[in-house]
Structure formats: structure tokens, C-alpha cells
Chains A and B, each alone.
Chain A
């Protein structure tokens, strides 16, 4: 509520108290000439101010309740963001470990190929169409 945020709360508290005092005074202090002469006008004014301030007292209370809920939500969001960052860190570590594992396995396999290259190349010559088929298989569905 912008009006509640714009004006300090104590203004509404003061107006509420003033309207109650004014209303009571208009009934009790009938012996005072000014009050007895303007009793109806004072009562009407005080009742209007009372209604408006009661409305805004409710609004202030509601506003404070929403502020408290927003703060609690902000705390939960901050906690969730921390958890999210932690989960990302954990995932990055797992991914790095797996990538390292793959790289190590690849290196070991390529060493084995190098060691056996002479022997396997001596017993097997690859026909040209085998290379074409393999390359076509690698290209099919590949990004363009």
C-alpha cells in the first residue's frame, strides 16, 4: 500500500487516538461552551476520521504481515540460491572427474593401438568403401 509506505505509521495512530478523544470529549465535556455548541460537527468529523484511520490501521497491519512474509520468502530464496550454487559445484566436479576418466581411457586405448598398429596393419588392409561407409555413418544426422 503506497499510502501506508508514504506516510509514517504514527500519523495514523495519532489520528486514531485524536478522533477517539474528540468523540469522547464531545459527549463528556458538554459544559464547555465551544464543545457544546459544535458537538454534532465534532462528532461527525471524529467519526469520519475514526473510520478512515481504522481502515488504515488494518491496512498497516496487513502491510506489515505481507512485509514479514516477503522477508521470509527472500530468506528462503537466498537459501535456495546457495543450494543451487552448491549443486552446480558438485555437478561440475562430477563432470570433470568423468571427463578425466574418459581422457585417461582414451589415452590408454590409443597407446594400445600404437603398440599393435604394425601387426594389425600387416594382416588387414581396409578397402576404400569401408572408409566411405564409416564416414557417411558419422555424417548422417550431423549438425550442418
Chain B
């Protein structure tokens, strides 16, 4: 019994907690925003200029969202590279 207690005490003496902690990298706030809905052409419009303006605005929104997706890809690749460099 005494031997068992001694063995258990010696075994437990080897317990150790992991001292190093890694934090998940934070993404830029600009990226953590949903893309806006596409604009609709006002009902009853017969003017080409109004339709054209709406379409142009929607193209601009699409380009903004494309930039965000590209930025997310770049962010992921950069952060993965940095994460993998720590071993």
C-alpha cells in the first residue's frame, strides 16, 4: 500500500500543464461585413438613364464584394503562411 502511494505520488509528480497558448488571428473589420443587396429599379420607371444608373450602382457593389472575397483569400493565405511558420 505504501509502495502504491509512493508510485502514485511519483507518477503524479510528472503532471504538467501546457504553458503556451495560441490565439486565432483576427480578420480586418472591413472584411467581416456582409455584402449589400442589389439595388432595384424603381417601379414604373420608363427612363433609360434611371435603369442605367441602377445597373451601374449594382456593378459597383459587385466589384466591392469581389474585392472583399479576394481580400479574404489573401488574408487566409497570409495567415496560414504565418501560422505554419511557427513550429
B residues engaging A (CB < 8 A)? 10, 13-16, 19-20, 22-23, 25-28, 30-31, 34, 37-49, 51-58, 60, 63-64, 67-68, 71, 74-75, 78-79, 82-83, 85-86
Contacts and interface: CB of A to CB of B under 8 A. Distances in A.
B45 A131 contact: yes
B68 to A, nearest CB: 7
B76 to A, nearest CB: 11
Given A70-B19, A70-B20, A106-B60, A88 B86 contact: no
Given A59-B14, A73-B86, A113 B53 contact: yes
Interface residues of A, number: 52
Q: Majority SS of interface residues in chain A?
A: helix
A126 B67 contact: no
8 contacts: A67-B19, A80-B82, A88-B28, A88-B75, A91-B75, A92-B28, A125-B47, A126-B46
B16 A1 contact: yes
Nearest to A133: B41
Interface in A112-144: 113-114, 116-117, 120-121, 124-128, 130-131, 134-135, 138-139, 142-143
A17 interface: no
